[in-house]
């Protein structure tokens, strides 16, 4: 039961967001030594493997829709390391391989029933989490702050996100007073320092696991001379999204097609220095278009 309890920290109670055959995961716990390194990814003819050492490893088969994870008992004594370095890495990579296109983007939905969402894209440190939370505080529905998963083989641009958590850089306390005093931690003791919060602990924040996407917006808040929303080159947006794809050529072909569909209406760049202005400009985009 320990691995399941640890998994609940990442995903909470299971929900079915769309119809698809499930992936199966088997976990074997052995008495070997703990791993001495992070897992290394390697693609295979039928999936991929993640290997720390012979006793701490995972394999995923596309044809079987199944993964097998072998871990030493000592790994469970380091639940954060196990969750981030092995469990989440295995499950999210398997889902990306079969069902999703993983995008380095936040997602929020403007106030109002049945409105499509806005995808907030950018490199690490571009302000995705900060702007997503600012939107949520202003009445938007929060989907995810960093990892958005575009569902394969659909034309409606459906995105799934981890709405259970928010993660901020320590500097976010200067913008949001409610973050002051929160613990600053590192993911699995090796990641970047961050403040992690469960959305269930946040008052007056609406959340949802999915959204259809209407606008793709790349964020730019560094050295901005004029706050504005402008067209962003589609080929540059596509190149940025393709950089995080991995797996077999057949999988990447599907993912490329999904990205082409996502960017069919182009992309935008939000240049801003004031957070409130950015939230208001996104609201006007959602309501009126460009």
Query: Which pLDDT belongs to residue 1?
Result: 65
- The two beta strands, 100-109 and 56-61, are unpaired
Over the chain (290 residues), the average pLDDT of each successive run of 10 is 78 73 92 88 89 94 94 89 90 88 95 86 91 96 93 93 88 87 68 82 88 96 93 96 78 90 97 96 92
* 216: CB partners within 8 A, 6+ apart: 119, 121, 237, 262, 263, 266, 267, 268
The number of angstroms, rounded, from the C-alpha of 21 to the middle of its chain's C-alpha atoms is 22
**Cβ atoms within 10 Å of 2's Cβ, excluding its own:** 14
d(CA 89, CA 82): 9
CB 101 within 8 A of CB 160: no
* 289 vs 68: CA distance, rounded Å: 47
As given in the structure block, the two tokens for residue 232 are: 């962003």
Given a contact cutoff of 8 angstroms between Cβ atoms, the answer to whether 162 and 144 are in contact is yes
Domain boundaries along the sequence of the chain: 2-98, 101-288
Starting at the earlier edge strand, list the strands of the sheet with 66-72.
24-30, 66-72, 56-61, 47-53, 40-44
- Integer-rounded Cα Rg, in Å, for the chain is 19
At 115 the three-state DSSP class reads coil
- Which candidate, 164, 198, 197, 163, places its Cα nearest to that of 180? 197
Query: pTM, whole model, 2 decimals?
Result: 0.85
At residue 179, the pLDDT reads: 86
User: What local confidence, expressed as pLDDT, does residue 80 receive?
Assistant: 85
> What pLDDT score was predicted for residue 266?
97
| pLDDT for 96 | 85
Beta strands in 111-188 (DSSP E): 117-121, 141-144, 147-151, 158-161, 165-168, 185-186
Residue 184 backbone class (left: φ over 0; alpha: ψ -120 to 50; beta: rest): beta
pLDDT in the model for residue 152: 92
């Amino acid at each position: 039961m320990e691995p399941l309890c640890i998994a609940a920290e990442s995903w909470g109670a299971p929900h079915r967001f769309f119809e698809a055959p499930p992936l199966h995961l088997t976990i074997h716990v052995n008495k070997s030594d703990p791993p001495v390194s992070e897992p290394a990814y390697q693609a295979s003819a039928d999936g991929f493997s993640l290997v720390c050492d012979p006793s701490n490893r995972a394999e995923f088969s596309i044809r079987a829709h199944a993964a097998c994870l072998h871990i030493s008992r000592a790994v469970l004594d380091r639940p954060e390391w196990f969750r981030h370095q092995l469990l989440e890495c295995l499950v999210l990579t398997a889902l990306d391989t079969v069902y999703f296109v993983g995008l380095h983007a936040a997602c929020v939905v403007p106030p109002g029933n049945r409105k499509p969402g806005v995808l907030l894209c950018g490199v690490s440190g571009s302000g995705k989490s900060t702007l997503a939370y600012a939107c949520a505080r202003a009445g938007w529905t929060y989907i995810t702050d960093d990892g958005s998963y575009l569902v394969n083989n659909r034309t409606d641009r459906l995105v799934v996100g981890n709405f259970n958590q928010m993660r901020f850089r320590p500097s976010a306390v200067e913008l949001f007073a409610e973050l002051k005093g929160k613990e600053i931690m590192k993911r699995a003791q090796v990641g970047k320092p961050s403040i992690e919060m469960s959305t269930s602990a946040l008052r007056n924040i609406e959340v949802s696991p999915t959204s259809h996407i209407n606008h793709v917006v790349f964020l730019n808040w560094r050295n901005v001379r004029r706050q504005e929303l402008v067209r962003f080159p589609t080929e540059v947006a596509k190149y940025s999204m393709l950089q995080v794809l991995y797996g077999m050529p057949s999988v990447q072909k599907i993912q490329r097609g999904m990205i082409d569909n996502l960017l069919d209406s182009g992309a935008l760049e939000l240049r801003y220095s004031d957070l409130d202005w950015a939230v208001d400009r996104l609201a006007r985009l959602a309501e009126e278009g460009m």
